[in-house]
Structure 1
Amino acid sequence: MADIRGERRTAVLPLAVTGLVGSLLPVVYLHVASFGELSPVRHTVSDYIFVDNGTALLGVTALSLAAASVGLLVVLVRSGLPVHGPVSWLMGLWAAGLTAAAVFPTDPVGAPTSFSGAVHRYAGAVMFAALPLAGWLISRTFIPSATVRRFSVAAGFGSVAFMLSHLALTGSADGAVLLGLFERVLFFLLYCLLFALAAAVVRREVAS
């Protein structure tokens, strides 16, 4: 039975990592295709819905990332992580936030906040807070990994910086000049955290 569970973990983990890598491709394409149209420093990733095929491509990115994160959670649970523990709930919130942000797109820059835009904003706040905390708890209570812990802490600070930029407490008076930059740094750290979690699981499996 233990061998079967190990084989299932081995099968799911490559799929999760493939999903992580695959989720990067559409958004990288959008950055290249919209060069000169949108600023990666000022505009958020969500603003790419306003370029050609942006809604579909961003949806692929968000849903692929959510599915990959759920796959990683499945691997962690099969490795012994409590299924009803705080980490599972936090990673579930991260995946749910990604899905909600894809279903409810943001508003155009300068437009009044719509229902969809409000849901998008709060979904982003939830997911950006949930994953760093989940990573930190994993590194403290389940897989003692300094790399996971460092990326979790860095992503936590990045999340705070991005949220403060929404409140116009950093960057400039209009709170938007560095908004895109803060978000891209945050996403970079979150991806690093997810890949670090996958690597930590592999090391744990090899050592067991």
Structure 2
Amino acid sequence: MIRSLAMMTYLNIRFAHEVDPFSRAVSYYVFYGDGREEFATSVTILAAGTVLMLVGMWTVGIRFGGAATTLFGVWCTSLSLCAIFPTDNGKTITSTSGLIHQVAGASLFVSLPLAGVALAKRLAGDERWARTARVVRRMAMVTMGLAAAYLATRLPDLFPSLAVPGVLDGRGISGLVQRALFGLEMLMLMALSVRLLRVAVGTARERREPARVEAT
């Protein structure tokens, strides 16, 4: 996940002049230089990292339930689709690839915060994860707010016939809102990953202690 964040940061810096970070989505990096490869690799690594994190949590005894499992599945699938199908290089959808990318993009921004809320409910009952559960839930709630804000900034592009007053036209900051949203989602996953590492290390130590006692 750290590598995914590093690669996305690289894209933001490398193509800052080609892709306005305030008004254009991260998907447009695919049209410049090595952006397509870097973008696809970044989101693929993020999807794989999420799966590995979930497997690790399962190993230490966390059971996700149907809702969280489904929503994390949607998140990982949507990331994979965004990597495979690039968006259209324009404000409107003109190709099947662009349509798939837009639907997958909308799905991943909604699915992860909902997955976070569902998972937080499960984690709250485990004292090892209770604090992390509260942090994840708060992050998820803020992320849902950012997702709604991002959708609002995209309405004029998605529905060109919709009359949006100039003062409410948020397209000039849509890229910034999307980056804040995506960044917070990555932080939420990192919070879970860091806690998983600590729990796994603690569990391993607990298992070694009885063996040491028996050996003495």
Give the shorter-chain TM-score range: 0.7 to 0.9
The question of 1:113 aligning with 2:101 is answered no
Query: Structure 1 residues 170, 155: CA separation in 2 closer, same or farther (over 3 Å shift)?
Result: farther
- 1:73 maps to what in 2? 54
- The answer on whether the counterparts of 2:26 and 2:175 sit within 8 Å (CA) in structure 1 is yes
Q: Matched residues in 2 for 1:99 and 1:173: separation?
A: 33
- The answer on whether the counterparts of 1:164 and 1:170 sit within 8 Å (CA) in structure 2 is no
Tell me the alpha carbon deviations over residues 3-59 of structure 1, each in whole angstroms, 9 at most, x when there is no partner: xxxxxxxxxxxxxxxxx0011222222222212222100110001011101111101
Equivalent position to 2:29, from 23, 43, 48: 48
Question: Deviation of residue 92 (structure 1)?
Answer: 1.4
Question: Deviation of residue 164 (structure 1)?
Answer: 2.0
Task: Tell me the amino acid that sits aligned with residue 119 of structure 2.
Answer: I
Equivalent position to 1:186, from 172, 175, 181: 181
**TM superposition score normalised by structure 2:** 0.79
SS in 2 for 1:177: helix
Which residues in structure 2 correspond to 1:1-208 (within 5 Å)? 20-82=1-63, 85-142=66-123, 143-144=129-130, 145-168=133-156, 176-205=171-200, 206=202
User: Matched residue pairs, number?
Assistant: 189
- 1:9 maps to what in 2? none
**TM superposition score normalised by structure 1:** 0.82
- The answer on whether the counterparts of 2:63 and 2:122 sit within 8 Å (CA) in structure 1 is no
Question: Deviation of residue 87 (structure 1)?
Answer: 1.1
Q: Matched residues in 2 for 1:136 and 1:57: separation?
A: 30
Look at both structures and tell me which one has the larger radius of gyration over its CA atoms: 2
Q: Matched residues in 2 for 1:198 and 1:146: separation?
A: 15
Q: Matched residues in 2 for 1:74 and 1:171: separation?
A: 47
- The answer on whether the counterparts of 1:165 and 1:171 sit within 8 Å (CA) in structure 2 is no
SS in 1 for 2:20: coil
Q: Matched residues in 2 for 1:127 and 1:141: separation?
A: 21
Q: Matched residues in 2 for 1:171 and 1:149: separation?
A: 34
Question: Deviation of residue 84 (structure 1)?
Answer: 5.9
Query: Structure 1 residues 202, 170: CA separation in 2 closer, same or farther (over 3 Å shift)?
Result: farther
Question: Deviation of residue 147 (structure 1)?
Answer: 1.1
Q: What is the root-mean-square deviation in Å for CA atoms of aligned residues?
A: 2.2
> Could you list the runs of 5+ residues in structure 2 that have no partner in the other structure?
124-128, 157-163, 207-216
- The answer on whether the counterparts of 1:106 and 1:116 sit within 8 Å (CA) in structure 2 is yes
Q: Which runs of 4+ in 1 moved over 4 A?
A: 169-175
Q: Matched residues in 1 for 2:154 and 2:141: separation?
A: 20
> Could you list the runs of 5+ residues in structure 1 that have no partner in the other structure?
1-19
Question: Deviation of residue 178 (structure 1)?
Answer: 1.5
Q: Percent identity?
A: 32
